[in-house]
């Protein structure tokens, strides 16, 4: 086999998540406790394939960066600018978690919630995923503490969790929030998720324009916000 022969894998299922666009998705898993589920395709929608999974609190998801703008067949770029470094310092691709890599495969540790069977479908509910809605899932593996959790590990430029900002609802947004809550469109859980996601400041690393209003889609909602110093101001939430 030539090293550059492509390999094909089956897609076992698809992610259903409130992250309807890339903007706003945490840059790593486990930073927010947003719930999502994987729906499995036939023949992987077989409950016996999940037997024993309830013994594991966390799982590895292996998945495909299917929404990459730049095709993985395009020219190999050995260096990228991690957002964590402000977007102006380069690192070797293999020293980053960039989505633009030779094989567009993502890996994420998530918390298992439950497996559900309903008619012909099997759903695996998880929290903490950083996957876009519609992401093809390649595999699920249990997270094994004695081997996967390396307590003395060094993580270079990504040693600590990113700083979180304080989220403030401006008066108009607060009013819209109350109406949506009354109409049962919004729930306290979704509000909490939106606040968690925004506290991570999803803006591209190199942007710091206090005049600019950003829009993020989350579930059925459009959330607009500005960032001033260490505060995220939500100015609008609409469906």
Question: Residues in the site for ligand SAH, rule: CB under 6 A?
Answer: 22, 25-29, 65-68, 97, 99, 106-108, 130-132, 135
C-beta of 125 vs 168, nearer to ligand SAH = 125
C-beta of 68 vs 127, nearer to ligand SAH = 68
- b/e 110-145 (16+ beta carbons within 10 angstroms → b): bbbbebeeeeeebbbbbbbbbbbbebbbbbbeebee
In the complex, the smallest distance separating the C-beta of residue 147 from ligand SAH, rounded to whole angstroms, is 18
The encoded tokens of residue 56 equal 């594991």
In the complex, the smallest distance separating the C-beta of residue 129 from ligand SAH, rounded to whole angstroms, is 9
Q: Which residue reads 């593996």 in tokens?
A: 141
C-beta of 105 vs 113, nearer to ligand SAH = 105
C-beta of 66 vs 192, nearer to ligand SAH = 66
Asked if residues 222 and 215 have their Cβ atoms less than 8 Å apart, the reply is yes
In the complex, the smallest distance separating the C-beta of residue 24 from ligand SAH, rounded to whole angstroms, is 8
The encoded tokens of residue 137 equal 């899932």
CA distance 93 to 102: 9
In the complex, the smallest distance separating the C-beta of residue 111 from ligand SAH, rounded to whole angstroms, is 14
Backbone angles phi, psi at 220, to 5 degrees: -95, 10
In the complex, the smallest distance separating the C-beta of residue 116 from ligand SAH, rounded to whole angstroms, is 23
C-beta of 130 vs 219, nearer to ligand SAH = 130
């Amino acid at each position: 086999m030539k090293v550059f022969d492509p390999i094909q894998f089956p897609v076992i299922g698809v992610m259903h998540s409130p992250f309807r666009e890339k903007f706003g998705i945490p840059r790593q898993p486990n930073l927010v406790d947003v719930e999502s589920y994987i729906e499995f395709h036939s023949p992987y929608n077989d409950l016996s394939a999940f037997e024993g999974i309830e013994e594991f609190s966390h799982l590895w998801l292996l998945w495909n960066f299917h929404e990459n703008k730049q095709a993985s067949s395009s020219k190999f770029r050995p260096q990228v600018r991690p957002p964590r470094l402000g977007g102006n310092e380069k690192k070797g691709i293999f020293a980053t978690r960039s989505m633009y890599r030779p094989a567009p495969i993502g890996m994420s540790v998530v918390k298992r919630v439950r497996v559900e069977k309903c008619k012909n479908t099997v759903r695996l509910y998880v929290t903490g995923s950083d996957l876009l809605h519609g992401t093809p899932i390649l595999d699920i593996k249990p997270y094994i503490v004695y081997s996967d959790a390396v307590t003395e590990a060094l993580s270079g430029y990504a040693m600590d969790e990113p700083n979180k900002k304080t989220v403030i609802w401006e008066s108009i947004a607060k009013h819209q929030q109350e109406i949506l809550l009354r109409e049962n469109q919004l729930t306290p859980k979704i509000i909490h998720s939106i606040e968690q996601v925004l506290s991570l400041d999803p803006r591209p690393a190199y942007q710091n324009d206090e005049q600019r209003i950003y829009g993020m889609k989350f579930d059925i909602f459009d959330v607009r916000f500005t960032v001033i110093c260490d505060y995220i101001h939500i100015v609008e939430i609409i469906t």
